Structure 1
Amino acid sequence: MILPEKQLLSALVITFNEEKNIETVLNDLAFADEIIVVDSFSTDKTFEIASQFENVKVVQRTFDNFAFQRNYALSLAVHPWILFIDADERLTPELKNEIKVVISQKNNISAFFMRRNFMFENKNLRYSGWQTDKIIRLFKKNNAVYNKEKIVHEKLIIKGETRTLKNKLIHHSYSNFEDYKQKMVFYGELKAQEELIKNTKPNFFHFYIRPTYKFVHQYFFRLGFLDGRKGIIICYLNALSVAVRFQKLKQIRKGN
């Protein structure tokens, strides 16, 4: 029996103040042939903790936006397959094994989506728009690049076919209210830059209708009410991010 040729894998992580997550995620990625951390000059112990791992290459780069940061990390990788993981994401043993299997197969697949379980304070959030969440996390380096115009919730441009893995990624995005609120505000501020590029001129519709629609859509149509208190919190904070986006855009445009 001829065994398939081993395909080498580079695991990439971008970080800023992830001292609560960095050790766990790096241990999680130990099966990869290369691990690279690109840190945005964290003010906590993220850089120091990551630097203690002998199998991890740690570099620092000033953060401009997510697309640029991810493309920079991608440029440092030397292996043909890329696994790009956020510090708050976790891989189950079953998912690790599936990754090893699919990258060793000879086919024309360029990238794989991973479905995610959104964890709210260590408990699975079943609805609120997250029930269909999936994202490309595994791909061939030479067949992908992050869209420079999508500076937050960045999007991969893929050349070739895609598939979806069977096993799910665990996403520990919500640890507490203040942390998630800060994240949503930060995303909103970055999205304002995207709106500026599109020459969006914010008005009543953007300030009031868009945030309200976001909440109503996720809470009612995406069944957030079935998540109880958790659903209200998540839908509210996601709507807040939309409100922040256009308030920030208004400030930027006034300054220009």
Structure 2
Amino acid sequence: MKLSAVLITKNAGPDFAECLKSLAFADEIVVLDSGSTDDTLATAQQFGARIFQSEDWPGFGRQRQRAQSYARGEWLFWVDTDEVVTEELATSVQQVIEGASKNRVFQVVRLSWFFGRFIRHSGWYPDKVVRLYRREEYGYDDALVHEKVHCPGADVGTLKGDLLHYTATDFADYMAKSVRYADDWAEERVRRGKAASLVSACTHSLGAFLKKYFLKFGILDGKHGFLLAVMTAYYVFNKYAALWIKTRR
């Protein structure tokens, strides 16, 4: 088996079917679910995925490590449930795995959708992230959130075509995820002995807005760019506020 498409899921959302449909080029689709209560598992079954379930939640990094252990392909291609593989990207994946040397990994270029518009500035594009590697060579780190493929010394190539990322389609879901990520970020910093103040929460939040809107040219994304900068500042404030709260227990 050459290629496994691997996903971790929980209540995957409205784009999941389109996501799985775009993975038809893979030899298998592996889904590790952590307690979905909607139609996630039924949708995965519909597209012939091999489904596994976990009782607990160890964090994103370790959950991806678990999912990797279920895959059978020589190569692993990681996709999130709100992402859709374009035809150009699918072709690129199939081409590179045929002749890639050892210690070779590949990053995708994500184009993210934000409440009605693809964002091409604001530091969001091109958003390059490693998603394709040999199963026996590399894997994800242990991070609770914002996990990355641990591939020191690897030769990193870039795949052709965009990975469409529908990260913001529902306001309530987006904000709930933002708060959850902020809490996970703070919990990880607490474990590392870090601390924060409310002053630092305010200064980091302001800095995040200025960087996103001006230095990263979010202003060129129009009203959506301004909204994104504000929400980024809100997220950063929540991260440091959560850290301050947790260290005062």
Shorter-normalised TM-score: what interval?
A: over 0.9
Partner of 1:23: 17
2:146 corresponds to 1:153: yes
Please report how far the alpha carbon of residue 145 of structure 1 lies from its aligned counterpart in structure 2 after TM superposition: 1.8
> Counterpart of 1:167 in 2: which secondary structure?
strand
> Counterpart of 1:249 in 2: which secondary structure?
helix
Partner of 2:114: 120
Instruction: Work out the CA distance in 1 between the residues paired with 2:180 and 2:100.
Output: 41
Which amino acid letter does the alignment assign opposite residue 235 of structure 1? A
Alpha-carbon displacement from aligned partner over 1:195-222 (angstroms, at most 9, x marks no partner) = 1122112114422111111111111100
Q: Count how many residue pairs are aligned between Structure 1 and Structure 2.
A: 247
Instruction: Work out the CA distance in 2 between the residues paired with 1:246 and 1:123.
Output: 29
> Counterpart of 1:165 in 2: which secondary structure?
strand
Instruction: Work out the CA distance in 1 between the residues paired with 2:4 and 2:125.
Output: 29
Partner of 2:59: 65
Alpha-carbon displacement from aligned partner over 1:173-214 (angstroms, at most 9, x marks no partner) = 111332222221111111001211221121144221111111
Tell me, yes or no, if the aligned pair for 2:198 and 2:240 is still in contact at 8 Å.
no
Change (3 A) 1:247 1:8: same
Please report how far the alpha carbon of residue 19 of structure 1 lies from its aligned counterpart in structure 2 after TM superposition: 3.5
Structure 1 alignment gaps of length 5 or more: 1-6
Partner of 2:175: 181
Partner of 1:4: none
2:20 corresponds to 1:36: no
Please report how far the alpha carbon of residue 156 of structure 1 lies from its aligned counterpart in structure 2 after TM superposition: 1.0
Instruction: Work out the CA distance in 1 between the residues paired with 2:127 and 2:62.
Output: 23
Tell me, yes or no, if the aligned pair for 2:131 and 2:149 is still in contact at 8 Å.
no
Tell me, yes or no, if the aligned pair for 1:110 and 1:139 is still in contact at 8 Å.
yes
- Which segment is superposed worse, 79-88 or 194-203? 194-203
| Cα RMSD after superposing both structures | 1.6
Tell me, yes or no, if the aligned pair for 1:19 and 1:49 is still in contact at 8 Å.
no
Instruction: Work out the CA distance in 2 between the residues paired with 1:103 and 1:205.
Output: 49
Structure 2 alignment gaps of length 5 or more: none
2:90 corresponds to 1:96: yes
Which amino acid letter does the alignment assign opposite residue 60 of structure 1? Q
Q: How does the TM-score come out when normalised to structure 1?
A: 0.91
Tell me, yes or no, if the aligned pair for 1:84 and 1:137 is still in contact at 8 Å.
yes
Please report how far the alpha carbon of residue 72 of structure 1 lies from its aligned counterpart in structure 2 after TM superposition: 0.6
Which amino acid letter does the alignment assign opposite residue 52 of structure 1? Q
Instruction: Work out the CA distance in 2 between the residues paired with 1:220 and 1:147.
Output: 32
Q: How does 1:43-62 map to 2 (within 5 A)?
A: 43-53=37-47, 55-61=48-54, 62=56
Instruction: Work out the CA distance in 1 between the residues paired with 2:116 and 2:133.
Output: 28
Partner of 1:129: 123
Please report how far the alpha carbon of residue 122 of structure 1 lies from its aligned counterpart in structure 2 after TM superposition: 4.7
Instruction: Work out the CA distance in 2 between the residues paired with 1:106 and 1:83.
Output: 14
> Counterpart of 1:166 in 2: which secondary structure?
strand
Q: How does the TM-score come out when normalised to structure 2?
A: 0.93
Instruction: Work out the CA distance in 2 between the residues paired with 1:218 and 1:129.
Output: 7
